[in-house]
Amino acid sequence: MLSAQCAEMEINIHMVDMHSMIDLQITIFLLMIAGYVMTKLKILPPESKKPLTDLVIDFVLPCNIIVSFMIDMNREVLVSCFAVLCASIVIQIFSAFAGRYFYPVKDKDTLAVLRYGTICSNAGFIGNPVIQGLYGAQGLLYASIYLIPQRIVMWSAGVSCFTTAKGKDVIKKVITHPCIIAVFVGFVLMLVPFDLPSGIVKTLQTSSSCTTGLSMIVIGHILAGIDIRTIVSRLNIYYCFIRLIVFPLLVLAGCRLLALDTLVTSVCVVLSGMPAGATTAILAAKYDGNEQFAVKIVFLSTILSLFTIPLLCVIMQYFL
């Protein structure tokens, strides 16, 4: 029975549902278009940008983070997820290095966007649904573990990309950030031997379910203020090449070199090849950074990921 289940899992890893994955990415794209259209129709006035970004960052995202940590942790789960956690930590360290040294850009605001967009992919908003559709419940569990280091890095080193404070001021801003507090709360809830009341859990889950929709609408709202014809540029294409192609191929090579489990490798490769995180544009807007360029890399990388993620799945079918 056990061998049959393992064999079935092995088959499912390679028989991914491309149609469901593409449908999901198209949905995300249409949500951005909805934000764009509502802005052009004056349904969302320009002055609504700040309260919307504050709503996403200070409430919706923290709820999403806490929910992502609601995993039953026991010895078996810890052992099975250890490889994913280690791989994710290495990937995050490399991402921070790449974000600092891969881009020959002098403008500080533009470099901040590139650095954050390299550190933080959309592995949370897009990645979890994609992984669940591709690899089922076990894949989703691995994805949740994979996201733990990214959650910490994106709201610590990531946020510091946009802040001007130094030393103790940076540390203070980071540890008091609502999303970092949510990470700490999530860790506690993941480790304690009791559950929250069902009413609180449902409130968190309901709020968390707004994350993708609200985030993409905010990006579309910001997108309405820029010239779409300027989205494609050499720098943007270069970023997308690094984010969508180079990173996942390096992860694939590293996982194969270490002979990691097939499902672990598949989850790590797909999540490392996700487009720029929606928070790239949201944080750039919140901290008065280069939000227009941030929206451009989020928009273009999301569109291109419609093609690159299926391509990665095809590549893995030959190498795993």
Q: What is the pLDDT of residue 179?
A: 81
Least confident of 22-31, 208-217, 250-259: 22-31
Residue 73: pLDDT band with limits 50, 70, 90: low
Residue 1 predicted with pLDDT over 50: no
pLDDT score of 14 more than 70: no
pLDDT of residue 246 exceeding 90 = yes
**Of the ranges 70-79, 250-259, 308-317, which one carries the lowest mean pLDDT score?**
70-79
Lowest mean pLDDT among 74-78, 137-141, 148-152: 74-78
0.75 exceeded by pTM: yes
pLDDT at position 10 over 60: no
Mean pLDDT calculated for residue range 238-243? 95
| Mean of pLDDT over the chain | 82
Phi-psi region of 44 (alpha: psi -120 to 50; beta: other; left: phi over 0): beta
Higher pLDDT, 152 or 275: 275
Domain ranges of the chain: 17-222+230-319
pLDDT above 70 covers a percentage of the chain that reads 87
pLDDT band at 2 (very low <50, low <70, confident <90, very high): very low
Query: For residue 126, which amino acid is it?
Result: I
Fold of 17-222+230-319: Na+/H+ antiporter like fold (1.20.1530)
Mean pLDDT, to the nearest integer, of 215-243? 87
CA atoms within 13 A on the CB side of 172: 6
How confident is the model over 225-246, as a mean pLDDT? Answer: 89
